[in-house]
């Protein structure tokens, strides 16, 4: 069903102040959880989010393993509740504003620069920028993006009602969104590089037992083909070497995620994939700068974990801010 | 049951009461048996008008009031024209639900202030130099968190320039139009039929696309 949610308007949303105790970059589950704890503690908190708040969790059709929702809940509904709870305690949320640079000035002062040339100041900054879908870097992948190729089934799925679609990647995300696609599409074909699925059993059962699904394991996708729009996927059977062409109108790619941390330059220590290293209290090593959620190195990409990170960081932030006052 | 709860009404009232100009939501509908969401849209805009005196509603049957529809350049329904002190060319086709409710509210605000939300200096100066019509369509779905960002840019540009007409189209409700423009992903920006930008694009990219289709 539909509902009516209001994003804070970029032009009129914030209080107009540009000084905060805490600025959280990214309004996904980790950032919103930290905002709930911090704002409830009386910490003046601003969340800056480049699109609508909710993060990746809001782009998933259904979340079934977040405690407290025995029937599961739509990702966007769950994130709506997070947001309401943060706002209720006085956190400000600025949406459709992208952070482009973090500038540590001195102990107790960091500047946060945005794409529309605004500058905000905070005593403490948390990076909660999560990750974005990985590309396969296949021939045709960029060309057909938005022309039948998508990284968000929740966004684009409704456009494929009654059509034949392909999901590349049979991990948790691919199968979860596959369940959603199976409710719109005429057929869903899953292609997985590995000889088996690493997804949760319950998702495997739901998709594999569905009459309109087909699975190709141990197959490597080589190319996305089309003229104006996607018309086929070319794949290779890794066991036999046989190359096949599979006609399709839609391709959804779910082959994992990678962090979007280039905007930080070499400000913080990262691992080889660009995930930010922290200690157990979420500190990055840069004075006043923390990182939480999926963007953190060696973390599990789950809402519960993102929430846990946000909680730990908010409690450490309280201590840090109290010390600054002394 | 009301569509908008007290909390949302409170937020909306604060935003809309601040508008210097009254905004008229001109709604074109179809007979109920041909339109899944017309009733919901009518209810929604009526609640908006109840919430703030700065919003008024005017409803037409698309078929019966063809002339009126034509005067707004509207050829299909459900459709909303968002009209401020003048008609800036803001249109919404379909039900503005979920994320798209924010798009509607932003459109109303832009029309009611007669001023765009956030356009860069370079965008404004380019728009001021326009001298040919720009038909700027943005295709969206209600479940797409990236879409309002694209849609409100179109509305802002339309308010900033009399040459720009901004139509936001809920693609899953208009399959034929979605097919005509081969909408397979949202948001999709289409400018004067031939200029096509996938995804939520920076202002500069939209400006470049307008330049290239007008050239
Ligand atoms: C299809 C799918 C299904 C999933 N299913 C489940 C599930 O069933 N259960 C579960 O527990 N988890 C699930 N997950 C994982 C879960 O969504 C993530 O672990 C969680 O969203 C991580 O939260 P986060 O706050 O760390 O980051 P994100 O949710 O990624 O949020 C980061 C936010 O930061 C913003 N941002 C990035 N850069 C900037 C910038 N420079 N300036 C401003 N803002 C910025 C982004 O726009 C984004 O909104 C699923 C994920 C996907 C994709």
Q: Is residue A98 part of a domain?
A: yes
Q: What is the pLDDT of residue A117?
A: 84
| Chain B residues within an 8 Å CB radius of A51 | 145-146, 149, 200
Nearest CA to ligand 1 atom 15: A302
Q: Cβ(A293) to ligand 1 under 6 A?
A: yes
DSSP B116: -
Do both A181 and A269 map to the same domain? Answer: no
Do both A231 and A127 map to the same domain? Answer: no
* Domain end point (choices A253, A269, A290): A253
Do both A218 and A267 map to the same domain? Answer: no
Check if B3 contacts A (Cβ < 8 Å).
yes
Chain A residues bordering chain B (beta-carbon distance below 8 Å): 2-7, 9-12, 51-52, 54, 58-59, 76, 84, 96, 116, 145-150, 152, 154-156, 158-161, 228-230, 249-250
Do both A229 and A192 map to the same domain? Answer: yes
Do both A86 and A181 map to the same domain? Answer: no
Q: Is residue A144 part of a domain?
A: no
pTM: 0.84
Q: What is the DSSP string of A118-178?
A: -EEEEEEEEE---EEEPP---TTTTTTBTTTEES-HHHHGGGGTT-EEEEE--SHHHHHHH
- Report the residue of B139, B172, B185, B194 to disrupt the A interface, i.e. the one with the largest count of A CBs within 10 Å: B185
Cα(A275)–Cα(A254) distance, integer angstroms: 19
Report the relative pairing of strands A149-150 and A257-259 from DSSP bridges. Answer: unpaired
| Pairs of residues, one from chain A and one from chain B, whose beta carbons lie less than 8 Å apart | 122
Q: What is the pLDDT along chain A (326 residues), one digit of tens a residue?
A: 678 877 754 333 344 568 999 999 999 999 999 999 999 999 999 999 998 899 999 999 899 999 999 999 999 999 999 999 999 999 999 988 899 999 999 999 999 999 888 899 999 999 999 999 999 999 999 999 999 999 999 999 999 999 999 999 999 999 999 999 999 999 999 999 999 999 999 999 999 999 999 999 999 999 999 999 999 999 999 999 999 999 999 999 999 999 999 999 999 999 999 999 999 999 999 999 999 999 999 999 999 999 999 999 999 999 999 999 88
Q: What is the pLDDT of residue B86?
A: 97
CB contact under 8 A, B141 and A59: no
Q: Which atom of ligand 1 lies closest to the CA of A177?
A: 1
CA–centroid distance, A256 to ligand 1, in Å, is 12
User: For position A278, which CATH number holds?
Assistant: 3.50.50.60
Q: Is residue A9 part of a domain?
A: no
Q: What is the pLDDT of residue B201?
A: 86
CB atoms within 10 A of CB B130: 17
Cα(A165)–Cα(A147) distance, integer angstroms: 13
Residue from the list A7, A11, A149 with its beta carbon closest to the beta carbon of B102:
A7
* Domain end point (choices A253, A273, A308): A253
User: Apex CA B203: angle with CA B199 and CA B208, to 5°?
Assistant: 90
User: For position B202, which CATH number holds?
Assistant: 3.40.30.80
Check if B99 contacts A (Cβ < 8 Å).
yes
Do both A208 and A127 map to the same domain? Answer: no
- Domain of residue B17, residue span: 6-214
Q: Is residue A309 part of a domain?
A: yes
Average pLDDT along chain B, 215 residues, taken 10 residues at a time: 89 95 98 94 97 98 96 97 98 96 96 90 95 98 90 96 98 93 94 93 93 96
Residues 6+ apart with CB under 8 A from B51: B4, B9, B12, B13, B16
Q: Chain A: give the shortest CA distance to residue B163, in Å.
A: 23
Do both A44 and A80 map to the same domain? Answer: yes
Q: Is residue A4 part of a domain?
A: no
DSSP B117: S
Q: What is the pLDDT of residue A14?
A: 42
Nearest CA to ligand 1 atom 30: A130
* Domain end point (choices A233, A253, A273): A253
- Domain of residue A122, residue span: 16-132+257-324
Q: Is residue B1 part of a domain?
A: no
CB contact under 8 A, A159 and B186: yes
Q: Is residue A7 part of a domain?
A: no
User: Helix A29-40 and helix A75-88: axis angle, to 10°?
Assistant: 20
Do both A74 and A101 map to the same domain? Answer: yes
Chain B, 30-49: which have a CB under 8 Å from a chain A CB? 40, 44
Q: How many CA atoms lie within 13 A of B68 on its CB side?
A: 16
Do both A32 and A70 map to the same domain? Answer: yes
Q: What are phi and psi of A246, to 5 degrees?
A: -115, 115
Q: How many domains does chain A have?
A: 2
CB contact under 8 A, B185 and A146: yes
Do both A230 and A286 map to the same domain? Answer: no
CB contact under 8 A, A146 and B8: no
Q: Which residue of B has its CA nearest to A54?
A: B145
Cα(A63)–Cα(A74) distance, integer angstroms: 6
Q: What is the pLDDT of residue B7?
A: 85
Q: What is the pLDDT of residue B154?
A: 97
Nearest CA to ligand 1 atom 10: A302
| Chain B residues within an 8 Å CB radius of A249 | 184
| Chain A residues within an 8 Å CB radius of B13 | none
Candidates B47, B135, B63; CA nearest to B96 is B47
CB contact under 8 A, A96 and B101: no
Taking the C-alpha atoms of A312, A95, B78 and B199 in order, what is their torsion angle to the nearest 10 degrees? -100
Sign, CA torsion B116/B117/B121/B126: negative
Q: How many domains does chain B have?
A: 1
Q: Is residue A289 part of a domain?
A: yes
| Chain A residues within an 8 Å CB radius of B3 | 4
CB atoms within 10 A of CB A123: 21
Candidates A8, A87, A107, A91; CA nearest to A44 is A91
Q: Chain A: give the shortest CA distance to residue B202, in Å.
A: 10
Do both A125 and A261 map to the same domain? Answer: yes
CB contact under 8 A, B95 and A156: no
């Amino acid at each position: 069903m539909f509902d009516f949610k209001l994003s804070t308007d970029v032009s009129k949303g914030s209080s107009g102040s540009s000084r905060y105790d805490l600025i959280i970059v990214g309004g996904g589950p980790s950032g919103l959880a930290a905002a709930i704890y911090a704002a409830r503690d009386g910490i003046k908190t601003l969340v800056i989010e480049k699109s609508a708040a909710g993060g990746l969790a809001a782009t998933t059709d259904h979340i079934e393993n977040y405690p407290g929702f025995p029937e599961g809940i739509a990702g966007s509904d769950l994130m709506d509740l997070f947001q309401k709870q943060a706002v209720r305690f006085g956190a400000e949320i600025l949406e459709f504003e992208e952070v482009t640079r973090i500038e540590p000035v001195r102990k107790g002062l960091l500047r946060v620069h945005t794409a529309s040339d605004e500058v905000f100041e905070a005593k403490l900054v948390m990076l909660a920028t999560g990750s974005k879908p990985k590309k396969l870097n296949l021939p045709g992948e960029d060309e057909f993006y938005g022309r039948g190729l998508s990284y968000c089934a929740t966004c684009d799925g409704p456009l494929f009602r009654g059509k034949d679609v392909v999901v590349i990647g049979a991990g948790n995300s691919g199968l979860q969104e596959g369940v959603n696609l199976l409710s719109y599409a005429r057929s869903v074909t899953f292609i997985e590089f590995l000889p088996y699925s690493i997804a949760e059993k319950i998702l495997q059962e739901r998709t594999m037992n569905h009459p309109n699904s087909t699975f190709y394991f141990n197959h490597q996708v080589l190319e996305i083909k089309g003229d104006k729009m996607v018309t086929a996927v070319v794949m290779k059977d890794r066991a036999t070497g046989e190359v096949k062409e599979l006609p399709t109108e839609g391709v959804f790619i779910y082959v994992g995620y990678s962090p979007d941390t280039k905007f930080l330059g070499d400000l913080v220590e990262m691992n080889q994939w660009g995930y930010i290293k922290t200690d157990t209290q979420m500190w990055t090593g840069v004075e006043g700068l923390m990182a939480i959620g999926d963007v953190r190195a060696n973390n599990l990409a789950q809402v519960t974990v993102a929430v846990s990170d946000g909680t730990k960081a908010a409690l450490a932030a309280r201590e840090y801010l109290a010390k600054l006052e002394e | 049951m009301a569509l908008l709860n007290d909390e949302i009404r409170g937020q909306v009232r604060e935003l809309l009461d601040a508008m210097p100009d009254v905004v008229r939501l001109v709604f074109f509908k179809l007979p109920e048996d041909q339109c899944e969401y017309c009733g919901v849209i009518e209810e929604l805009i009526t609640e908006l008008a109840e919430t703030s005196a700065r919003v008024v509603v005017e409803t037409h049957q698309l078929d019966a009031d063809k002339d009126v529809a034509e005067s707004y350049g509207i050829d299909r329904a459900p459709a909303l024209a968002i009209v401020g002190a003048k008609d800036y060319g803001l249109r919404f086709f379909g039900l503005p639900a979920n994320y798209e409710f924010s798009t509607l509210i932003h459109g109303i605000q832009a029309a009611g202030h007669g001023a765009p939300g956030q356009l860069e200096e370079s965008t404004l100066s380019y728009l001021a130099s326009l001298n040919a019509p720009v038909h700027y369509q943005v295709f969206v779905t209600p479940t797409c968190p990236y879409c309002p960002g694209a849609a409100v840019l179109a509305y802002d540009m339309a308010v900033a320039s009399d040459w720009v007409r901004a139509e936001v189209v809920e693609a899953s409700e208009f399959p034929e139009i979605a097919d005509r423009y081969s909408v397979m992903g949202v948001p999709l920006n289409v400018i004067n039929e031939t200029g096509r930008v996938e995804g939520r694009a920076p202002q500069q990219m939209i400006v470049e696309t307008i330049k290239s289709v007008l050239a």
